[in-house]
């Protein structure tokens, strides 16, 4: 569904192309995500803290799973069907005010996976 690029010798870290410093961590951690009535993330409990979503979440899409067997055959009209693969948003700790930009993989359960943290 998504690529997990890392820097050789530093598992879970990705280099900043400008100066070589690490700016993004690739992780796989569980978070309890609260959503609004339309399924958009509004808050999460993660790493022992409570965070609220403080920007407009961006949805990322992927080709729908049911389409996978048909992938070699391009659609005759329109585009391949897509599903929501996850979200990117800024999360701000409710007590400390510290913020991160997170990529989370959606789930039908309240516990989702945090897969990238941008520092």
How many other CB atoms are found less than 10 A from the CB of residue 31?
A: 19
Q: Structure pTM?
A: 0.68
- Burial label for 114, CB within 10 Å (0-12, 13-18, 19+), is buried
pLDDT at 119 over 60: yes
Which structural domains are found in the chain, ordered by start?
Answer: 34-68+79-110 (2.30.30)
- Is the pLDDT at 57 greater than 90, yes or no? yes
Q: pLDDT tens-digit profile of 10-36?
A: 345 444 445 555 488 899 999 999 999
Residue 92: predicted pLDDT? 97
CB 98 within 8 A of CB 30: no
Whether 8 shows a pLDDT value over 50: the answer reads: no
Q: Give pLDDT, residue 77.
A: 67
Position 17 scores a pLDDT of: 46
DSSP string, 73-112: S--SSS---EEEEEEEEEEEETTT--EEEEEEE--SSSEE
Name which of 10-19, 56-65, 105-114 the model is least confident about.
10-19
Instruction: Name the average pLDDT for the chain.
Output: 79
Mean pLDDT in residue range 53-80: 77
User: What are the angstrom distances between the C-alpha of 55 and each of 24, 43, 85?
Assistant: 19, 11, 19
58-94 burial, b for 16+ CB within 10 Å, e for fewer?
A: eebeebeeeeeeeeeeeeeeeeeeeeebbbbbbbeee
């Amino acid at each position: 569904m998504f690529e997990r690029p890392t820097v050789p010798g530093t598992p879970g870290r990705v280099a900043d192309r400008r100066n070589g410093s690490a700016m993004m961590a690739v992780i796989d951690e569980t978070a309890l995500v609260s959503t609004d009535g339309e399924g958009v993330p509004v808050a999460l409990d993660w790493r022992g803290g409570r965070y609220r979503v403080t920007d407009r979440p961006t949805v990322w899409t992927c080709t729908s799973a049911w389409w996978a067997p048909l992938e070699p055959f391009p659609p005759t009209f329109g585009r391949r069907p897509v599903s929501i693969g996850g979200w990117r948003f800024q999360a701000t700790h409710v007590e400390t005010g510290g913020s991160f930009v997170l990529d989370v993989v959606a789930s039908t359960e309240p516990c989702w996976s945090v897969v990238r943290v941008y520092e």
